[in-house]
Amino acid sequence: QFFVFCHGLLQLSQLLVSGYLKSSISTIERRYGLSSQTSGLLASFNEVGNTLLIVFISYFGSRVHRPRFIGCGAILVSLAGFLMSLPHFITGPYKYDQSVASIFSNTTDLCQPRVPGSQGNLSDTSCTPHAARENHEVLLVMFIAQALLGIGGVPIQPFGISYIDDFASERNSPLYLGILFSVTIIGPGVAFMLGSAMLRFYVDIDKVDGDDVQLTNKDPRWVGAWWLGFLVAASLVAISAVPYFFFPREMPKEENPRFSHFPWMIIFLYTSSVCNTFPFFLSDFPLVLLRNLRHPVFLLVVLAQVNLSAMVAGLATFMGKFLERQFSLTASLANMIIGAVNIPGAMVGIVVGGAILKRFQMSLRQCSAMCVLGMFLCLLLALPLLFLGCPTQKVAGVTYSESSEFGHHALECNLQCNCPEKAYNPICGSNGIEYISPCSAGCSVVNISTDNNSVLKYTNCSCISENGLAGSAKPGTCGTGCSHLFLPFVVLSCLAGILASTSHTPSFMLILRSIQPEDKSFAVGIQFMLLRVLAWMPGPVLYGSAIDTTCILWEKKCDRKAACRYYDNNLFRQR
């Protein structure tokens, strides 16, 4: 029982490390200027290390000291977690464009008419080789960390399950595995909640004084302390790895007379047998593979699960980013919604699906009917989501122009301002139009609150006309004006998720019951491999690429595209 407790804790903290990346992905994109395609690849990169090794590990299953192997894997995972946060410590503080001179820089992005012979205001910070190299280093470290995370995670689940299955009594084994199963579902929810808590702090909380930060967490330039969560999660993994080095290689088996069964725990019993029986298949591997892949039910159900999993993998990675952009939420709130509403919804669906199966003792045909019905209802509820949203706010020179024939950024009203091309410090004019920086709106005066050095408003803006006079603007984006659609969106997406996940257990049963008994464990093994290779790996990358195609304005770093500043929200939502 102590082993089961330790294993639950370890699986939870391992999921914290991998799930936390998904919750902070939009923040990391902004901090290091990554496109969504790159961040999608990063998010799915841990599957690479995992898939390559799972076959070997299953092969050695019964010949090694399993608890010790799990402990080593866990130490790798915690190392990966610490590595993930390393970029924060090797790069300098986060820089953003400012209107008020501060300890970071004495430049400003206000409108300052050109003085002959002067240097312009916010000069495009020269692209030093160091800056370009630093960016490659950051990516390299993160990709290595993700690969290590995948490799370290390999022994944890198979060895843990087979160890419990070997030494627990038949009666308690399903219960223990059920406990572990519920932990694996709760894990990602906890990870998103952790993300929600950490992203409220400013990224450089350890490098700069709180008073010098002129951003609030509603500002589009705000970057939260993404690295803190990795430290927390990695420390938890390290702590829960310790007991494994003291468990024996074999335990005396628990004794119990009777045997009772949960419906959806069967899945786990098979997963565990995959790990024990893999070696015998390596000889007649091709024969069995062909026999299973020629089986129409098996093939169709696995392909259906691949489609569903690819969708889940993409959504889990970019749903937070979508909520932030579509409904102008902070990253912290978006994670809170996903962790507290959407993931628990999916858990409810899985449990309900299993309960219906057990209650009505369904035949195979009824199982497939239940899957189809769940999916169909899910589609019906998800259709309105295409329309629940608003277009991108009006941004001068990007999505909106008073006159149709002017070039990029070149509003006549701010020609004398000598604006830097790259400035990004969005402000919302009193006319309801957003400007990329105070300079592009032609604002020359800034009002600062006396107590905490933060910007109250910009005045004397030549591009914003108010009753014929120069208008004013307040810092921050205008927002999409979509808050009234936010609640219906969350409710519908949660219900759709519940309905889709009711088919989780019946689809497993379809696979387990339609295959010849001696192929069962092998079939489940093939299924997991196919899900990994066809769904979990490409899913986030495909989603990220699709999201990138909807970008209207890219941030430029060293003449390459970095993170996206503005998306076409309608396209983003539809794609």
pLDDT reading at 444 higher than 70: yes
For the chain, the domain total comes to: 3
Q: What's the Cα-to-Cα distance from 237 to each of 71, 232, 478, rounded to whole Å? A: 10, 9, 42
What is the b/e burial string over 41-60, where b = at least 16 CB atoms within 10 angstroms of the residue's CB?
bbbbbbbbbbbebbeebbee
Flag whether pLDDT at 123 surpasses 50.
Answer: no
Check residues 283 and 373 and name the one with the higher pLDDT: 373
* 310 and 379 fall within a common domain: yes
103 pLDDT band, cuts 50/70/90, is: very low
Q: Tell me which amino acid residue 289 is.
A: L
Q: Residues for the chain: how many in total?
A: 575
Q: Inform me whether the pLDDT recorded for 308 exceeds 70.
A: yes
pLDDT band per the 50, 70, 90 thresholds, residue 56 = low
Domain termination site, one of 434, 449, 475? 475
**Inter-residue contact 40 to 317 (CB < 8 Å):** yes
Let me know whether 420 and 455 are in one domain.
yes
**Claim to verify: residue 411 and residue 381 sit in the same structural domain:** no
- Asked if pLDDT for residue 124 goes beyond 90, the answer is no
3-class DSSP assignment, residue 375: helix
Whole domain around residue 220: which residue ranges?
1-96+130-249
Q: State mean pLDDT over 279-303.
A: 73
Contact in structure between 244 and 352 (CB atoms under 8 Å): no
Residue 164, in any domain of the structure: yes
DSSP code at position 113: P
Note whether residue 19 is domain-resident. Answer: yes
Residue 405 has pLDDT above 50, yes or no: no
Q: Which long-range contacts (CB under 8 A, 24 or more apart) does 369-377 make?
A: 370/502, 370/503, 370/506, 371/304, 371/503, 371/506, 371/507, 371/510, 374/499, 374/500, 374/502, 374/503, 375/499, 375/500, 375/503, 377/499
8 A C-beta contact, residue 435 and residue 463: yes
Q: What are phi and psi of 486, to 5 degrees?
A: -65, -45
Q: Is the pLDDT of residue 392 over 80?
A: yes
Same domain, 494 and 468: no
The span from the CA of 43 to the CA of 142, in Å, is 10
**Helix pair 296-327, 173-198: axis angle to 10 deg:** 20
Residue 118 lies in a domain: no
What does 388-433 look like in DSSP terms, one character per residue? SS-PPPPBBTTTB-SSTT--TT--GGGGGG---TT----EEETTS-
Instruction: For residues 21 and 40, give the distance between their C-alpha atoms in angstroms, rounded to a whole number.
Output: 11
Residue 286: burial class (beta carbons within 10 Å; 0-12, 13-18, 19+):
exposed
pLDDT on residue 513: 80
Q: Does the residue 281 lie in any domain?
A: no
Return the pLDDT at 406.
Answer: 43
User: Rg of the Cα trace of the chain?
Assistant: 27
Per-residue pLDDT tens over the stretch 329-356? 999 999 999 999 999 998 889 888 888 8
Q: Are residues 461 and 342 part of one domain?
A: no
For residues 19 and 52, membership in a common domain is answered with yes
> Does a structural domain hold residue 564?
yes
What pLDDT, on the 0 to 100 scale, is given for residue 332? 93
In the chain, what percentage of residues exceed pLDDT 90? 35
Listed residue (111, 200, 114) closest to 445, CA to CA: 111
Name the helix (H) or strand (E) containing 223: none
- Judge whether 442 and 111 are in contact, CB under 8 Å: yes
100 against 386, higher pLDDT: 386
Q: Taking residues 237-248, what's their average pLDDT?
A: 92
Q: Which residues pair with 448 in a beta bridge?
A: 455
Same structural domain, 74 and 186: yes
Non-local (6+) Cβ contacts of 287 within 8 A are none
CB atoms within 10 A of CB 283: 9
- What DSSP element (H or E) covers 528? helix 520-531
Domain final residue, candidates 475, 492, 526: 475
Q: What is the pLDDT of residue 407?
A: 43
505 or 524, greater pLDDT: 505
Q: Which of the 8 DSSP states describes residue 34?
A: -
pTM: 0.84
Report yes or no on 137 lying in a domain: yes
91/184 same-domain check = yes
Per-residue pLDDT at 401 exceeds 90: no
267 domain residue, yes or no: no
Residues 382 and 345 in one domain: yes
Give the C-alpha separation, 66 to 61, whole Å. 8
pLDDT tens readout for residues 158-205: 788 778 777 877 777 777 877 887 888 888 899 999 999 999 998 888
CB 370 within 8 A of CB 356: yes
Mean pLDDT comparison of 119-133, 363-377, 501-515, highest-scoring range: 363-377
Which of 134 and 282 is assigned the larger pLDDT? Answer: 134
Q: At what angle do helices 364-382 and 504-514 cross, to 10 degrees?
A: 150
Same domain assignment for residues 462 and 537: no
d(CA 319, CA 303): 23
- Computed over every residue of the chain, the mean pLDDT equals 81
Considering the domain architecture, whether residues 15 and 84 belong to the same structural domain is answered as yes
Within-domain flag for 116: no
Which CATH number fits the domain that encloses residue 34?
Answer: 1.20.1250.20
Among 249, 270, 300, residue at a domain's last position: 249
The answer to whether residues 380 and 521 belong to one domain is yes
